[in-house]
Amino acid sequence: MALPLSGICAAGLPALAQDNAPAALTPAPTDPVAYAMQRIAGDGSVTVSLTLADLGILQPIGLSGLDARRSVFFPVPANMPLSSARLNFQGRYLRGDGGRTTYLVSI
């Protein structure tokens, strides 16, 4: 048997009518990741570290040919300002004929 709850919500707190809801209960932005990061950070900052394995790249990235390229995209929430962003890159290159080799990392 259900009893009517007039003026009290299921948690035992006074129920809020739609017209007198506090301004703090505004809907979340359209980007839930950015909203969650802002809630966690507050006025401070959040440190996030990702590896290639976190992005689904489980094997070493192999490049071959004269114009070999590979793009890797790192997720950054929209509307989340970045400061002190860093990319730590460790790479090796083995050239079969032992000649001089250079590689370029662009960010």
Cα–Cα distance list, 72 to 44, 69, 85, 104, 105 (Å): 28, 10, 16, 14, 11
SS3 36: helix
What are φ and ψ of residue 39, in 5° steps?
-65, -40
Residue 58: pLDDT over 80: yes
Predicted pLDDT of residue 2: 41
Average of pLDDT values for 85-107?
A: 74
Residue 6: pLDDT over 50: no
Residues contacting 60, CB < 8 A, separation 6+: none
Residues contacting 34, CB < 8 A, separation 6+: 77, 78, 79, 80
Predicted pLDDT of residue 8: 39
pTM: 0.43
More confident residue, 3 or 66: 66
